[in-house]
Amino acid sequence: MVKELIVDSSPETGTTIALLQDKQLVELNKEQVNNNYAVGDIYLGRIKKIMPGLNAAFVDVGYSKDAFLHYLDLGPQVQSLIKLTKLVKNGSYKDKLLNSLKLEKDINKAGKISEILSRNMLLPVQIAKEPISTKGPRLSSDLSIAGRFVVLVPFSDAVSISKKIKSNTERNRLKKIVEGIKPQNFGVIIRTVSEGKGVAELEKDLRDLITKWESFTKRLASTDPAKKILGEMDRTSTILRDILTDEFSHIYINDPIIYEETKSYIQEISPDLEKIVKLYKHKDPIFEHFGIEKQIKAAFGKIVNLQGGAYLVIEHTEALHVIDVNSGNRTANKENQEDNALLVNKEAAKEIARQLRLRDMGGIVVVDFIDMHKPTNRKELHDYLKECMGNDRAKHTILPPSKFGLVQITRQRVRPEMTVVTNEKCPACGGTGEIRASIVLMDDIESNLSYVLNEQNEKNITLCVHPYIEAFIKKGFMSRRLKWFFRYGKWIKVKAISSYFMNEFHFLNAKEEEIKL
């Protein structure tokens, strides 16, 4: 599998990042200009309101609406975090790490938030879910700082390893390495990409994260409430950190500043891949040059066509997303109806997995596949859908088909869904849905013809119109064109252009240049 990353940056729209797999668009990420509430950012929150009924609190982090913090998102060591915040704020804690901090007991998993937090308390919080629709950010006080190979978790001593690393020998090796280099009172999560990496690479990554924590502690002392303490990297660097592998063949960027930043970042995390970063210099827009714009327009509509003739209908509601699979004009040739339904459903499953990633659809997704009667076929479809979604980095759960043939999917949603407007404004009506009456079209043409010939003294002009209008103008012995010749003493050329809409017309001069009316 060949992967490419295409980065389109402009001052007006921000940065859009397209991930291609074998030239097919599979992910589209957009980083807005001045996005201050990205997942991973750490703010110094002020508790505004305690809600005992919800067992949650509303927190001021500077957003227009207060952010939401549930008791289950406090983290077991929130008391230690509160203690550290107080010590740093009053200037009595000078250690950059946590060596001299005595950790508090873990909070009760079934406790009450009113027993832990109080109004106007200051608490460092991390953005767990970006503001979506009318809701403010969702927060967590179980802080973590992510690197390329490991994740640093303060107020813990546990070393956990990604479940995707299956080899027990490799798991033990990685655990021993990390236990030997991690600082006291810090836990570490070993990421999947750590598999096969040496001590030097893991240690460097961990040292970088420790430096970030030291920066967090230093800034905490001077940061005002509701202000950012530590920011996550930009979206381009975050994506590279999480997914960059040897499978990447090219990274094209059209902005010189982001190009230099990306090249420097890759030089740090994976020097052997630095050569794949290239600055795009062509005149054509970068997305058009690589065929991404066309793929976006084809993939983001309500109806998504599949290669075999089947199609998907994707609807969005406030509570969930609904996807309907239709066989379209596909016919069962040699296959029977059941086998044909399985083929269509598997083709649809592959595209659905792509659509979920591409649009970043989260929450509940209900898919109405074509009915299949054999349990073995339903299981095969379920397994195939799980396989297709194996590359999806968002947490998800796929339930087996229900007795009504519906497949329910839950997918983690941490930022607003990616939406792209695929409908364009009609050039004929300007988006109003109405055009000038055709009965007055000839009056318009003749009025402008008189102006061009008499007022502008043009000669050898050509009238360009829709083929139907051309046929009408030339129809009969005493055609409209012949009447114009008798009236103006000049022969008017009439040219049919099939791409024109019905009421569109233009005049060209002798040099084939359009005459501005």
Segment 1-26 shows an average pLDDT of 85
Segment 463-477 shows an average pLDDT of 92
Q: Determine the Cα–Cα distance for residues 325 and 385; give it in Å rounded to an integer.
A: 14
Residue 156 in this model has a pLDDT that exceeds 60: yes
- Label residue 293 by pLDDT band (50, 70, 90): confident
Predicted pLDDT at 58: 96
Whether 292 contacts 6, CB under 8 Å = yes
- Label residue 32 by pLDDT band (50, 70, 90): low
Predicted pLDDT at 421: 61
Phi-psi region of 221 (alpha: psi -120 to 50; beta: other; left: phi over 0): alpha
Predicted pLDDT at 325: 94
Q: Determine the Cα–Cα distance for residues 59 and 47; give it in Å rounded to an integer.
A: 5
Amino acid at 156: S
Segment 277-290 shows an average pLDDT of 90
Predicted pLDDT at 189: 95
Predicted pLDDT at 298: 80
Q: Determine the Cα–Cα distance for residues 364 and 481; give it in Å rounded to an integer.
A: 63
Helix (H, G, I), strand (E, B) or coil at 133: coil
Residue 315 in this model has a pLDDT that exceeds 70: yes
Distances from the Cα of 12 to the Cα of 30, 34, 36, 421, angstroms: 12, 11, 17, 17
Segment 442-451 shows an average pLDDT of 88
| DSSP letters spanning 215-257 | HHHHHHHHPPTTSEEEPPPPHHHHHHHHH--TTEEEEEES-HH
- Label residue 417 by pLDDT band (50, 70, 90): low
Segment 11-31 shows an average pLDDT of 84
* 318 or 173: which leads in pLDDT: 173
Q: For the chain, how are helix, strand and coil distributed in percent, rounded to 5?
A: 35, 25, 40
Whether 45 contacts 105, CB under 8 Å = no
**Nearest by Cα to 67 from 36, 31, 104, 106:** 36
Predicted pLDDT at 142: 94
Would you give the DSSP letter of residue 314?
E
Residue 271 in this model has a pLDDT that exceeds 90: no
Q: Which CATH class is domain 1-32+233-290?
A: alpha beta
Residue 323 in this model has a pLDDT that exceeds 80: yes
Whether 325 contacts 351, CB under 8 Å = no
- Label residue 278 by pLDDT band (50, 70, 90): very high
Residue 418 in this model has a pLDDT that exceeds 70: no
pLDDT tens, residue by residue, 90-122: 888 888 889 888 999 999 989 999 999 999 999
Predicted pLDDT at 414: 67
Tokens found for residue 332: 């069962």
Residue 148 in this model has a pLDDT that exceeds 80: yes
Q: Determine the Cα–Cα distance for residues 230 and 201; give it in Å rounded to an integer.
A: 24
Predicted pLDDT at 419: 65
**Nearest by Cα to 38 from 223, 217, 265, 234:** 234
**Cα(first)–Cα(last) distance of the chain, in Å?**
55
Predicted pLDDT at 422: 58
Predicted pLDDT at 454: 85
Least confident of 39-48, 103-112, 424-433, 468-477: 424-433
- Label residue 465 by pLDDT band (50, 70, 90): very high
Residue 442 in this model has a pLDDT that exceeds 90: no
Segment 383-405 shows an average pLDDT of 89
**HEC string of 409-471?**
EEECCCCCCCCCCCCCCCCCCCCCCCCCCHHHHHHHHHHHHHHHHHHCCCCCCEEEECHHHHH
Strand partners, 321: 316, 365
Give CATH for domain 39-228.
Answer: 2.40.50.140
Predicted pLDDT at 423: 62
Residue 228 in this model has a pLDDT that exceeds 70: yes
Predicted pLDDT at 427: 66
CA angle at residue 244 from 241 to 346, to 5 degrees? 115
CA angle at residue 354 from 1 to 341, to 5 degrees? 105
pLDDT tens, residue by residue, 55-72: 999 999 998 899 999 999
Residue 74 in this model has a pLDDT that exceeds 90: yes
| Mean pLDDT, rounded, of the chain | 87
Strands, sheet with 24-31, edge to edge from the N-terminal-most edge strand: 24-31, 14-21, 3-10, 248-253, 277-279
Predicted pLDDT at 353: 93
Segment 501-511 shows an average pLDDT of 89
Helix (H, G, I), strand (E, B) or coil at 405: coil
- Label residue 331 by pLDDT band (50, 70, 90): low
Q: Determine the Cα–Cα distance for residues 227 and 130; give it in Å rounded to an integer.
A: 16
Predicted pLDDT at 64: 87
Kindly report the length of the chain: 517
